Structure 1
Amino acid sequence: MMKINLLETSSAEWLDVLQRCRHDSHHMPGWLRAAQHEGSGKAFAVHVMDDGHELFVPLLNRDINGKDWDASSPYGFAGPVVSDDAPDGFVDTALSEALELLRGRGCVSCFIRLNPIVNAPWRSAVGTLIDHGMSISIDLSKSEAEHWHDTSHGHRLEISKAMRAGVTVRLDETLETLPHFIRLYNASMDRLRASDYYFFDDAYHYTLARELGDRLRLFVAEEDGVIIGGATVTVSDGTGILQGHLMGIDARYRHRQPSKIMLHAIRQWGREQGYRYYHLGGGLGGSAEDSLFRFKRGFSPDTHVFRTQRVVVDPGKYLALCDGTPSVLEDLSGYFPAYRR
């Protein structure tokens, strides 16, 4: 008999499920608590069990009007987690039952960001699956020579030039440079005129560091004792996935290409530590054409598809929130949920 539970991040069962199922650092309760602290909604997870098979979906409960709410994955790639031996049909049955439970509690829609690596085999007929483009990962089982071969000619030249100039990269084990990194990251986002989506208050960074512990690593690039760049990555020991999180550089040292030497150093560290993937993500908005995608592609030929899943949980309420325009239920490929545009 199918059993559905809604778990809070403090629930011991949350970690128990993750021990049994393939997951990433973005599925950890601490990742959700940091997102909750950021004001993105109240963190919870749906856990479905049936005959030993499991479906687990971490989500944020986002208020709409004080009565109704919608569910959304947090920033990152906290897609569904499924037990390895789940039979065909289990996912859709379990997900449908879970969403029916949420509908009864006032949920109007559900937006899920799939994990490009963990959810690569994900197939579901519930709602609409949208392909957003490619994301890039580095295969850390390759040798140093293979990694260097996969690096574009331009990246190789600039990494070598920075090394000759004395730029070094180190892992900051104590996170003593976190305040400096936060300043560099914010300045970088200001310089790039990034949208609000890419800005986080200082407390978010400290919350994430406290919640994830050694699952969050900070690398800093330095020249003559000056920090010229920083990058955070999350670590998942069970699946061997490093996820690139945030990066910031000192504009005065752009000629040293600190972002390139940091990625080079992080992949070297990941390879030496025995991890399997270093996921860099994709371009802005999933684009395979922009400069960010081309920058990342210069480190690896390996790509994954980034997808989202959109479900209208309560069509009547969804329609009412969209001023009764029937077409919003026919095509979910645009901004979702449409009433939050």
Structure 2
Amino acid sequence: MFIDLVSAKNWFDRLPARYRYPTLDPEYIYIESKQRKLRQSVFYLKEHAGQFYYLSGYLTKSKEGFIDFETPRGYGGLLSNISNLELLKNYQSECEHAFLSKGVLCGFIRNTPLLNNYNALLVESWFDRYTVSIDLNIPDLLPSYKTRARTAIRKALKSGVLVKRAESDEQWQSFALLYSQRMKELGATDEYLYDNSYFHDISKLIGSKLYLAYLHDELVSGCIILESGSYAEYHLSASTKIGMVYASTQACIHIAATESQKNGVQFMHLGGGLSNSDEDALMFFKSGFSDRKHDFVITGWIFDTSKYADLKRKYVQQGKAVNRIIFYR
């Protein structure tokens, strides 16, 4: 059944640490849903005899009136401890009917690489790209990085880069400005753009931490880390050109990883690159911190197969592209 935000949050916070991934937190999903007027956060949960099936994200209604389900940017998907295949099929069928009852046409799910949770979704899924994580169970992190990352971090610290954790709203807003400026420089799509209210909301999220790098008292980079349970997620980051020269982002990641380690977090997920290319610069940057690679898998769940097929056929006849799950908006 569908439950409200407070009920979902209370349930999520009681889960064992191995299930509490930061971007599956109901409050995080609610914050993400607020970024678009047409979004409505939604939390589905079936729980019985210690077994659970939880799917969360947001619903969006298109201009044509079609409703779809989507997990937020980052990583989400199904959270379940069910191992029996027949029981899993039954729970999935009930979930599908619940979404159909809301008039939902289809779903686009970005699964969580560290959880491999796509395995429990018995619908079409496909590999998108690799991601990287740091094993925080290693006592001394710096020697575990590749030479290029170690060298960059030492260069930053030797050059006077100082990394601090943000403690005020003003610092969060300073990072919001830096992030916005960097996204404009990159010509980023709307998916990567956030208004000031988002940074205010995310700063209040339990487990949300902002690390800022300064050089001669000037803000040169920063990154937001989301912690929950056994995991930390490298969420948003930005740097000035000077910050790049002095490897301040590498220093931020290292300090953040060290602090998460002290908090008992076991793994920090850095995400992947902008593509699956071997030449992807962002993936090369992140892989300097670890050899731990994970599959990022996306899933398309068609709730109303007949209506979806008819709509897709109509779009093809009109010469419109249908190469995405949510092709109609």
Q: Above 0.5 in TM-score?
A: yes
| Matches of 1:268 and 1:259, distance apart in 2 | 14
How far 1:149 sits from its partner (Å)?
A: 3.2
| Matches of 1:66 and 1:326, distance apart in 2 | 17
* 1:339 is the counterpart of 2:322: no
| Matches of 1:224 and 1:325, distance apart in 2 | 56
For this pair of structures, how many residues does the alignment match?
A: 322
How far 1:230 sits from its partner (Å)?
A: 1.0
Give 5+ residue unaligned stretches, structure 1: none
Relative to the length of structure 2, the TM-score reads: 0.90
| Matches of 1:26 and 1:197, distance apart in 2 | 16
The aligned counterpart of 2:61 is 63
Is the CA contact 1:69–1:108 (under 8 Å) kept in the aligned structure 2? yes
Identity of aligned residues (%): 21
Q: 1:246 aligns with which of 220, 236, 255?
A: 236
* 1:110 is the counterpart of 2:117: no
Residue deviations 1:288-330, cap 9 Å, x none?
5410000000110011111111111112221333343689xxx
Q: 2:145 aligns with which of 142, 151, 154?
A: 151
Relative to the length of structure 1, the TM-score reads: 0.87
| Matches of 1:86 and 1:50, distance apart in 2 | 14
Is the CA contact 1:150–1:298 (under 8 Å) kept in the aligned structure 2? no
Give 5+ residue unaligned stretches, structure 2: none
| Matches of 1:306 and 1:181, distance apart in 2 | 28
Is the CA contact 1:243–1:278 (under 8 Å) kept in the aligned structure 2? yes
Of 284-293 and 67-76, more deviation after overlay is shown by 284-293
| Matches of 2:98 and 2:243, distance apart in 1 | 53
Counterparts of residues 190-339 of structure 1 (less than 5 Å): 190-210=184-204, 212=205, 214-236=206-228, 238=229, 240-324=230-314, 334-339=323-328
Q: 2:30 aligns with which of 33, 37, 47?
A: 33
Which letter maps to 1:222? Y
| Matches of 1:91 and 1:287, distance apart in 2 | 35
The aligned counterpart of 1:20 is 15
The aligned counterpart of 2:70 is 72
The aligned counterpart of 1:132 is 128
| Matches of 2:8 and 2:251, distance apart in 1 | 40
Q: Aligned with 2:5: secondary structure? A: coil
Which letter maps to 1:90? L
Q: 1:161 aligns with which of 155, 162, 166?
A: 155
How far 1:68 sits from its partner (Å)?
A: 3.4
| Matches of 1:36 and 1:289, distance apart in 2 | 33
Is the CA contact 2:40–2:59 (under 8 Å) kept in the aligned structure 1? yes
How far 1:251 sits from its partner (Å)?
A: 2.2
How far 1:286 sits from its partner (Å)?
A: 4.9
Is the CA contact 1:111–1:310 (under 8 Å) kept in the aligned structure 2? yes
How far 1:175 sits from its partner (Å)?
A: 4.4
Is the CA contact 2:23–2:75 (under 8 Å) kept in the aligned structure 1? yes
Is the CA contact 2:118–2:297 (under 8 Å) kept in the aligned structure 1? no
Q: Aligned with 1:89: secondary structure? A: helix
Is the CA contact 1:126–1:311 (under 8 Å) kept in the aligned structure 2? no
Give the superposed CA RMSD: 2.2
